[in-house]
Amino acid sequence: MKTRSLLATALLMAAFGAWAKQAVDTGHGGAVATISHEASLAAMEILDAGGNAIDAAVAAAATLGVTDPFSCGIGGGGFMLIYSAKDRRVIALDHREVAPATFHPGIFRNADGSEMEWKAAVPNGLSVGVPGTVRGWHEALARYGTMGFERVLAPAIRVAEQGFAVGPNFHRINTANEAKFARFSTASALYLKDGKALPVGTHFRNPDMAQTYRDIARGGVKAFYEGPIAASIVAAVNHPPANPGVAVLPGDMTMADLKDYEARIRQPIRSTYRGYEIHGMPTPSSGGIAIAQALNMLETFDLSGRSRAEIEHLYLEASRLAFADRNAYVADEAFVDVPKAGLLSKEYARERARQIGPRAAPGKVDAGDPYPFEDDLSVPLRPQPKPLARESMHTTHLAVSDREGNVVAYTFTIEDWGGSGIVVPGRGFLLNNELTDFDFSGPHPNVPEAFKRPRSSMSPTIVLKDGAPAFTIGSPGGSTIITTALQTLVNHIDLGMNLADALAAPRMSQRNGDTTLVETLLGFPGSEQAKALEALGHRWRETDQIGAANGIRFNTDGTVTAVSEPLRHGGGSAIVQKQ
């Protein structure tokens, strides 16, 4: 035990040294924070050329598809939250992947009726949803941007064409995907050498990706959803490019599935917390509702005079209760009646918060009953709670603002690291495995159905104070996205940390489980912080790192501060324009 404590102390000292190198920048111009320096430079190039935050966000996202291809790209989908300075409102742009027309609730069941194993379902054509990213970019640029694809894709085309040196983080994730990529000829050719991940220092180029971006720049959104690129996607899904001797389950996607895909403009989730206005994503993301509900519960407690451990205890227990309800009730509202008003009700939060005691709950808690708090005279069926479905932790998030005051918080993904493992032949991008985000059996709100969008946890968040942007935050991490955003909010608002420290602090993710997931990267296990919470009954399950957040703070003196990770995902990038 003494050795573990000494190790924790050493790790924390190392972490503090790394925090000194954290990507933080402050200035008076536009700002960007991403997990990739090339992506941040791409956004800054667009801002310097007169583009707005929306233009710059798409440029950064496209570049991330080259430099962080295992987490995101045009083979996936996402959720973009936009603050329009001109309209003084927040807009939610949903371009989540959808299930093809042939999908049905039994699609992930074996012949004997049992559920397929999640890990076995991922690397197949069957797991691929209709990609939404390019349609989402198109809608964002057409409605709120000032530039077109030809200009905003130029930095990403240049990076894909010229290439870059493989770094330790790229190599780490690629190594984790060796078995998956070895199943497919195209992924093997692009990312492996003699069956192994490309070594650190390898000069990596993706000319096929560059050409795909050029085709989109010339032909627009139709080039992706109706032309030869669409045909290539359909062929890859239905006839995956498997290596000899590898058995792969094909999908059943059609050109009509792609042509009919629509991005949706939705009303964001709006809640209040201790004088702030919190805006998040609505369904099919569960993040906005879960974060708002947890904050509503926390708001019932007077935190003045409480210790850090007491406040973090309340955060963990509020998160546990919010996840119990999230798992039971939330899915795509086009298919199920989500009791949204009840879940967001301050009165319901007070009732749920009464279950939070001075010690941690011993394990899973039951979902509450939000229906009496609904302003609805109908009598919907109450779904039965189910355990938390498996959800991968590999996505990316970026934040951008411009001089005019527009803000973009954008989370997008291909789901698992490396998605389905299928690189579209001749196109250079990986296809998602987003359909494994459905619950594999029912009855449940999130069962697979044709044209349905699987429930997500992506939680881009924009926070206003007195009607103006105060800060924005978001992260990758599967269902831990919700707890990362929630904990960062608590760190910043309740514990008084500046946004950089709030983002860098050790993370704890309680999602209605017997244990709370914590990080070893920052030496949390065995630390004084951990011991204080253990004394309140909390128990841990360890992983190396949780999330890779990015954010922007809008300071009262008129400056902006962009912040990214000091350590997670290899460290991030934050840049603010200089006058």
Under 8 Å between Cβ of 554 and 8? no
Helix (H, G, I), strand (E, B) or coil at 248: coil
CA separation for the pair 53, 401 (Å, rounded) = 5
CA separation for the pair 529, 544 (Å, rounded) = 17
What does the radius of gyration of the chain's CA atoms come to, in whole angstroms?
22
CA separation for the pair 394, 411 (Å, rounded) = 11
Catalytic hit among 34, 63, 186, 395: 395
- Residue type for position 461: T
Helix (H) or strand (E) holding 4: helix 2-19
Helices within 241-388 (DSSP H only): 255-259, 287-298, 308-329, 340-344, 346-353
CA separation for the pair 417, 442 (Å, rounded) = 27
Is 395 considered catalytic here?
A: yes
- Give every CB contact of residue 531 below 8 A, 6+ residues apart in sequence: none
Q: Helix axis angle, 37-48 relative to 154-162, nearest 10°?
A: 140
Helix (H, G, I), strand (E, B) or coil at 65: helix
- Residue type for position 348: Y
Helix (H) or strand (E) holding 157: helix 154-162
The string of DSSP codes covering 194-213 is: TTEEPPTT-EE--HHHHHHH
Helix (H) or strand (E) holding 38: helix 37-48
Any idea which residue has 């949390």 for tokens?
Answer: 524
Helix (H, G, I), strand (E, B) or coil at 278: strand
- Give every CB contact of residue 115 below 8 A, 6+ residues apart in sequence: 108, 109, 440, 441
- Give every CB contact of residue 377 below 8 A, 6+ residues apart in sequence: none
- Beta strands 24-27; 560-563: pairing state: antiparallel
- Enzyme catalytic residues: 395
